Structure 1
């Protein structure tokens, strides 16, 4: 068992970073809280393994985490050091959003496994370790509160296990990909992960509104209640669901309390909402007081299925023909290779994008090669779907 060092000071982080900077690769994982125990996305622990030592870096005791962690961030930005993750997107998005860190030279074992095309995508780290290494790793602490201190020994061991096996996993998966002639697939997909960036959702309420089938005339009230809930949650440093649940949000829109007393009696609301100044803000949302501000129209590119809905006549027929050719090619790739590779090259989302933007713009080089070879093998016209519509 490798040594596990639990680091809680800026000096310890700097010393560890000095050692890690000399390594050709590091295995890394983050534990963070995403609106479960506190407001926002909060980094709770960083696990790093260099092949000898596991470093559990605790950002919570640090006086200035952004500054104190900079020696580590410098390594993550350094392209000469490979960073081995499992399913890294949520981690690199958090690093970008909270710390402005853009990770370079990424190897993702989840990507490697997916490109083996042996089964459906998405495999947990525990299942992958069991499948590839024959080891059973305890994942019982996955849902624990990572912001609570002190961390238990079980949490520390769980966190260490998240990085301890990544080198062995990535090496085994790489050997398999090389044997299949697919290592360049993984190189292209991993390189693309460097471009992943956090983008702020300016209208986060729309996704929830869709789930609850909020009507256009209900949306202004839904939005204002959502934003008030978010304001209170931020002030309390609690997740929005602790202010009131999404189910309650939709109910309040469809059966809105009519006056101050009704709001005070409303069930399922955080007590702070029933006190000034929030109670007055709630009262202003009652039917006889509420002034609806219409929701601004969405930009064309943000609308659902904007491209196909705009087409008619000959253009619609041409788009249909492009779709039929892509579906034919998907069937041929399924028969020639397997359904998993076919889905990697022509998922439903990729088919829709290719119809509009063309395969040359949408697909990675490895995907284009498979599509071109399938078209050539079966006498189909790749150029018909190569360029934008």
Structure 2
């Protein structure tokens, strides 16, 4: 039975908790953050930590200088001597890097452990995993809460604490199951790789919008300029861009562009701020007869889809096809020898494309290379044909 939840709102309380947590051999950790749902940008809303005795909820919102006042916690996250147990940590460690420059060391991710059991498809939620492995049903009713709203309710606090209370029991159970399958080193390699995950700014976020498929290629510069103007207003209002106008309106406005200032004033679904100076004039300028949007620059080769295969012709293309055929054979054999889930962990579509160009020795982790090499040997196939760069 754990101690009562400790809700911390001051720098002194954070420092005191960090002094205790620093002595732990491992901590369970989770973050609640808002990602363009209630405010602009990605905003840390709560840090949950459990040391096996006490669940701590650290609230960054009342702090006057969170980056500085949370530094005692960041020191622990950076300390390789303390194990950090997460569930599905990618978004959390990216946020810590983006906002605070924190690179977490010595990570154990229960979602990674579960995936490597290869009992089912990955991407299992924490609630489902706790129920499946521990037989405990946790209330997930606060999943879509506004975590930036204060005060937090008792239900929110309990929900947040539940995200860390079961992680030790869960990771120990999954560790034992992996050990029984001889896969301990698989998890060690995958978890070690999480230390290298870094945030990188997306310079062309508008290309991720589904709406871009509803416009013509020559309309992309206008699509981009409208997207960026919407983003500018959202940042000023500290509201998510969808509150300035909905995502689906973006391609609609591009395809049926209001022709003048009055038409923009009458356009439906736009935030009132867009219909005021200076934004209204910027919208009207997009419709001006002499407006020529800056052309969309060509994507660098490494960001294009399948750039390597597109460059190949003749004999080289045939060699790439032969590589793909061999990898497809190997994937089929791994499915037969082990199971389809492991086959997809070793040779997903993305990994196959990378191996064709860069070779298995560069692309795969040691445990994946071992499976691929042993499968090739067992079925009298030549691993060296896919081992090195093309």
TM-score by length of 2: 0.99
Alignment of 1:71-150 (within 5 A): 71-150=72-151
Cα separation, 1, equivalents of 2:290 and 2:280: 14
1:318 correspondence with 2:319: yes
Matched residue, 2:369: 368
Measured after TM superposition, the shift of residue 212 of structure 1 is 2.8
Aligned-residue offset at 1:287: 4.6
Output one character per residue of 1:223-276: Cα deviation in whole Å (capped at 9) or x when no partner.
110000000000000000000011101011010000110000000000000011
Q: Point out 4+ residue stretches in structure 1 off by more than 3 angstroms.
A: none
Q: How far does residue 195 in structure 1 lie from its aligned partner after superposition?
A: 0.1
User: 1:332 maps to what in 2?
Assistant: 333
The alpha carbon displacement at 1:206 in A equals 1.3
Asked whether the 8 Å contact 1:263–1:274 carries over to 2, the reply is yes
Q: Is the CA contact (8 Å cut-off) linking 1:209 and 1:222 kept in structure 2?
A: no
- The RMSD of aligned alpha carbons is 0.9
Does the aligned pair in 2 maintain the 1:87–1:110 contact within 8 Å? yes
What pairs up with 1:190-209 in 2 under 5 angstroms?
190-208=191-209
- The residue aligned with 2:275 is 274
Distance 1:212 1:183 in 2: 43
2:248 aligned counterpart, secondary structure: helix
2:264 paired with 1:263: yes
> Which deviates further from its counterpart, 206-215 or 156-165?
206-215
| Corresponding residue for residue 384 of structure 2 | 383
Distance in 1 of aligned mates of 2:158 and 2:312: 56
8 A contact 1:256–1:287 mirrored in 2: no
Structure 2 distance, partners of 1:351, 1:126, is: 32
**Residue 68 in 1 paired to residue 69 in 2?**
yes
Name the CA distance, whole Å, in 2 between partners of 1:212 and 1:377: 45
Contact map agreement 1:8 1:57 (CA 8 A) in 2: yes
Partners of 2:258 and 2:279 in 1: CA distance: 14
User: Partners of 1:167 and 1:262 in 2: how far apart?
Assistant: 59
**1:168 equivalent in alignment to 2:178:** no
How does 1:19-98 map onto structure 2 within 5 Å? Answer: 19-98=20-99
- The alpha-carbon deviation at position 292 of structure 1 amounts to 1.6
Structure 2 Cα separation of the partners of residues 256 and 211 of structure 1: 15
- The match for 1:292 is 293
Q: CA deviation at 1:296?
A: 1.1
- Give the drift of 1:344: 0.4
Please list the CA deviations of residues 78-104 of structure 1 after superposition, one character each: whole Å capped at 9, or x if unmatched.
000000000000000000000000000
Q: Could you tell me whether the CA contact under 8 Å between 2:211 and 2:248 is conserved in 1?
A: no
**d(CA) in 2 for partners of 1:26, 1:375:** 41
Show the 5 A alignment for 1:241-260: 241-260=242-261
* Superposition TM-score, scaled by structure 1 size: 0.99
Counterpart of 1:220 in structure 2 is 221
Could you report, residue by residue, the CA deviation over 1:35-56 in whole angstroms, capped at 9, with x for unpaired residues?
Answer: 0000000000000000000000
Query: CA offset at residue 215 of structure 1?
Result: 2.2
Aligned partners of 2:327 and 2:48: how far apart in 1? 43
Structure 1 unaligned residues grouped into runs of 5+: none
Q: CA deviation at 1:288?
A: 1.7
Shift of 1:105: 0.1
Aligned residues: 389
Q: For 1:287 and 1:315, how far apart are their aligned partners in 2?
A: 49
How far off its partner does 1:211 sit?
A: 4.5
Gaps of 5+ in 2: none
**Are 2:9 and 1:15 aligned?**
no
Structure 1 position 122, deviation (Å): 1.0
Q: 1:209 offset after TM fit, Å?
A: 6.0
The 3-state SS of whatever aligns with 2:5 is strand
